[in-house]
Amino acid sequence: RKDFQIAPSILSADMAKLGEEVDNAMAAGADVVHFDVMDNHYVPNLTIGPLVCKALRNHGVKNDIDVHLMVSPVDRIVGDFAEAGASYITFHPEASPHVDRTLQLIKSTGCKSGLVFNPATPLDFAKYVLDKVDIILLMSVNPGFGGQAFIPATLDKLREARAMIDESGFDIRLEIDGGVTQNNIKEIAEAGADMFVAGSAVFKNPRTVEAYTDTITKLRA
Ligand code: DX5
Ligand code: ZN
């Protein structure tokens, strides 16, 4: 199948040194910056917005930035993230009353679009909009926090999503987010994922490019 992408989640980075942390993770072999946006409304935590995305671009980050919106409403923040340099914008269908319209809005900015499925959310939301979706992201934890344990039922859901994507014939990435480690990434890949978010598994002490290289090399292997 196509190439695998490793996307460190900066939620677990040292926010006081964010530019350096992202530089180190990308120098360590990561492909994509996973950027978690939480609003203390749709999810019980508050993180970062377009200002920080723009700051990373100004800092010189060239890799794709995968903006994971855990916010409601969705639509009014989409344009700001596109202008701030987002590459992918994904959102939770429960957080937007008109999912098709939000997907069209994201595509109209030139960004790639994606739907995110919470552990209990069925894949049905994707069925009639697959032509407008570049990424399907399955949450393998409940959104809001890093460092939680992978929910095993997600493996069956990954197989279901992989079959849906392959049958559709569309070029859609299957991303997994939550509790990905060196110990479970192999079975997650075998279940069909091709884009792997890893927050706490990558951004831990020591916060050095050598340590990040060691982790990302093992994840990729
Ligand atoms: C959780 C976020 C994840 C989080 C993953 O709501 O969407 O991206 O950072 O963290 P780990 O890899 O530590 O589970
Ligand atoms: Zn995320």
Q: pLDDT tens, 129-156? A: 999 999 999 999 999 999 999 999 999 9
Show me where the domains of the chain are located: 5-220
> Which one of 10, 12, 196 would you pick to mutate in the ligand 1 pocket, going by the greatest count of ligand atoms within 8 A of its CB?
12
The average pLDDT across 64-92 equals 99
Checking DSSP bridges between strand 112-117 and strand 135-139, what pairing results, if any? parallel
Other Cβ atoms closer than 10 A to 19? 14
Note the pLDDT of residue 1: 42
**Nearby residues of 85 by Cβ (< 8 Å), 6 or more positions away:** 53, 54, 56, 57, 65
Contact residues of ligand 1, CB 6 A cut-off: 9, 11-12, 34, 36, 68, 141, 143-144, 146-148, 177-180, 197-201
Note the pLDDT of residue 174: 98
**CA-to-CA distance for 124 and 164, rounded, in angstroms?**
10
Examine the predicted complex and report whether its ipTM is higher than 0.90.
Answer: yes
In the annotation, is 177 catalytic? yes
Kindly report the CATH number that applies to the domain delimited by 5-220.
3.20.20.70
pLDDT per residue as tens digits for the range 175-217: 999 999 999 999 999 999 999 999 999 999 999 999 999 999 9
For residue 75, what pLDDT band results from cuts at 50, 70 and 90?
Answer: very high
> Which one of 43, 177, 183, 188 would you pick to mutate in the ligand 1 pocket, going by the greatest count of ligand atoms within 8 A of its CB?
177
Other Cβ atoms closer than 10 A to 166? 13
Q: Is the pLDDT assigned to residue 2 strictly greater than 90?
A: no
Note the pLDDT of residue 220: 97
68 annotated to bind ligand: yes
pLDDT per residue as tens digits for the range 97-133: 999 999 999 999 999 999 999 999 999 999 999 999 9
Contact yes or no for 176/184 (Cβ under 8 A): no
pLDDT per residue as tens digits for the range 8-57: 999 999 999 999 999 999 999 999 999 999 999 999 999 999 999 999 99
In the annotation, is 23 catalytic? no
